[in-house]
Amino acid sequence: MGIAKLPRVGVVIANHNNAAYVAEAIVSASRQTVRDIEVVVVDDASTDCSDRVIRETLAKMADPRFRYIRLEANRGQTGAVRRGVVELGTPFVCFLDSDDVWYDNFIERHLAAHLNADYPVAFTYCDSHFINGNGELLAATAWWFEQPPTHEQHRPIDAETVPEIDVAGGRVRFAANPALTFHGRWAPTWSSNSTAAMMFRRDVVELVLPDGDEQLPLYLDFYLSTFCILIVGGIAVHEALYAYRMHGKNKHSDGLMLGGASQTSRKSWEPISQRVLHLVFKVLLQRRETLTAAIGGTRYEHAVKTVRYAIRKSQQQPWVGRLMAMIGL
Q: What is the CATH number of the domain that holds 106?
A: 3.90.550.10
Please indicate, yes or no, whether residues 215 and 273 belong to a single structural domain of this protein.
no
CA-CA distance, 116 to 129, in Å (whole number)?
Answer: 25
Domain boundary pick from 232, 267, 302: 267
In this prediction, residue 4 has a pLDDT band, given cuts at 50, 70 and 90, of: confident
Please indicate, yes or no, whether residues 279 and 263 belong to a single structural domain of this protein.
no
Please indicate, yes or no, whether residues 131 and 233 belong to a single structural domain of this protein.
yes
Q: Which of 259, 266, 311 is nearest to 285 (CA)?
A: 311
Domain boundary pick from 241, 267, 293: 267
The amino acid occupying position 21 is Y
In this structure, what is the dihedral angle of CA atoms 21, 27, 29, 30, given to the nearest 10 degrees? 170
Neighbours of 89 (CB within 10 A): 9
Please indicate, yes or no, whether residues 80 and 182 belong to a single structural domain of this protein.
yes
Task: Name the H helices within the chain.
Answer: 22-30, 50-61, 76-86, 106-114, 202-208, 220-231, 269-286, 288-295, 297-313, 318-326
Please indicate, yes or no, whether residues 14 and 64 belong to a single structural domain of this protein.
yes
Q: Model confidence over 161-211: pLDDT tens digits?
A: 899 999 999 999 999 999 999 999 998 888 889 999 999 999 999 999 999
Please indicate, yes or no, whether residues 273 and 325 belong to a single structural domain of this protein.
yes
Please indicate, yes or no, whether residues 273 and 240 belong to a single structural domain of this protein.
no
- Select the more confidently predicted residue: 327 or 285: 285
Number of domains forming the structure of the chain: 2
Please indicate, yes or no, whether residues 157 and 189 belong to a single structural domain of this protein.
yes
CA-CA distance, 125 to 260, in Å (whole number)?
Answer: 20
Please indicate, yes or no, whether residues 76 and 167 belong to a single structural domain of this protein.
yes
Q: Flag whether 4 is in a domain.
A: no
Q: Flag whether 1 is in a domain.
A: no
Q: Flag whether 199 is in a domain.
A: yes
Q: Flag whether 43 is in a domain.
A: yes
Domain boundary pick from 237, 267, 297: 267
Please indicate, yes or no, whether residues 219 and 321 belong to a single structural domain of this protein.
no
pTM > 0.75: yes
| Three-state secondary-structure class, residue 309 | helix
Say if CB 18 and CB 99 are below 8 A apart: yes
In this prediction, residue 128 has a pLDDT band, given cuts at 50, 70 and 90, of: very high
Q: Which of 220, 322, 232, 320 is nearest to 280 (CA)?
A: 220
Q: Flag whether 327 is in a domain.
A: yes
Q: Which of 123, 119, 147 is nearest to 234 (CA)?
A: 123
Neighbours of 141 (CB within 10 A): 16
Please indicate, yes or no, whether residues 147 and 282 belong to a single structural domain of this protein.
no
Neighbours of 60 (CB within 10 A): 11
Q: Model confidence over 268-320: pLDDT tens digits?
A: 768 888 999 999 999 999 999 999 999 999 999 999 999 999 998 876 555 44
Please indicate, yes or no, whether residues 183 and 305 belong to a single structural domain of this protein.
no
Domain that holds residue 109: 9-267
Q: Flag whether 2 is in a domain.
A: no
